């Protein structure tokens, strides 16, 4: 029986979640479960071979999120603006509600500053402002959380 606490890593087949999942696997302190829409993808299979458990699910589907979070201690959350655009917000709300309903003890969520607020409404930067709204929603829910603001990736220069 696995005695380690389980962390569900979302976005693990991508850049951010992938680095979180690999760092956790290397540390070997927590058991790593990853959320993916496609358990048969090359990236999911690679993570499985490194020791991750795969949970198939979709941020559009609350039931799949709650099933993926079953028995988890923590969740790393990253939502993806560049594939879903405005739908990112509802997917983030689904993720946060699932975290709340699952009684997750520590939620780490990738968010960004609210540029609309900072510029007093002069500039709107949807992929940042929506994440800021998700940060506020998480706080209102009283979820034990850490928010991580990540800058432009160095890796962007490689691709
Ligand atoms: P990425 O490499 O493109 O990977 C996207 C990940 O999101 C994949 O693991 C994918 O999983 C998952 N995903 C997408 N839609 C999903 C859904 N409906 N349900 C469940 N999982 C879903 O993305 P990334 O760069 O790690 O993260 C993107 C976010 O980072 C964006 O919101 C962006 O604003 C933010 N960001 C980017 C930068 C930058 O410099 N690029 C800097 C700061 C912040 P599957 O395909 O396996 O399901």
**Atom 25 (ligand 1): residue with closest C-alpha?**
15
Axis-axis angle for helices 15-27, 42-49 (nearest 10): 10
Pocket test for ligand 1, best of 79, 80, 91, 129 (most atoms within 8 A of CB): 80
Q: Which residues contact 105 (CB under 8 A, 6 or more apart)?
A: 73, 74, 144
pLDDT tens, the chain, 159 aa long: 558 999 999 999 999 999 999 999 999 999 999 999 999 999 999 999 999 999 999 999 999 999 999 999 999 999 999 999 999 999 999 999 999 999 999 999 999 999 999 999 999 999 999 999 999 999 999 999 999 999 999 989 998
Beta pairing partners, 149: 111
Ligand 1 mean position to 1 CA, how many Å?
Answer: 32
**Atom 4 (ligand 1): residue with closest C-alpha?**
14
The CA distance from 2 to 31, in Å, is: 8
Q: Using a 6 Å CB cutoff, which residues line ligand 1?
A: 10-17, 35-38, 41, 58-60, 78-83, 91, 127, 150, 152-153, 156
Instruction: Report the predicted TM-score, pTM, of the whole model to 2 decimal places.
Output: 0.98
């Amino acid at each position: 029986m696995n005695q380690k606490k389980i962390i569900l890593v979302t976005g693990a087949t991508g850049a951010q979640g992938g680095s979180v999942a690999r760092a956790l696997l290397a540390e070997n302190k927590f058991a790593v479960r990853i959320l993916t829409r496609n358990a048969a993808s090359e990236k999911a299979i690679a993570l499985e071979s490194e020791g991750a458990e795969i949970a198939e699910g979709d941020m559009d589907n609350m039931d799949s999120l709650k099933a993926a979070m079953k028995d988890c201690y923590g969740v790393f959350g990253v939502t993806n603006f560049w594939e879903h655009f405005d739908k990112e917000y509802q997917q983030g709300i689904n993720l946060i509600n699932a975290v709340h309903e699952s009684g997750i003890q520590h939620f780490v969520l990738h968010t960004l500053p609210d540029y609309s607020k900072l510029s007093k409404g002069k500039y709107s930067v949807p992929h940042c402002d929506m994440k800021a709204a998700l940060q506020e929603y998480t706080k209102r829910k009283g979820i034990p959380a850490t928010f991580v603001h990540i800058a432009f990736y160095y890796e962007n220069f490689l691709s």
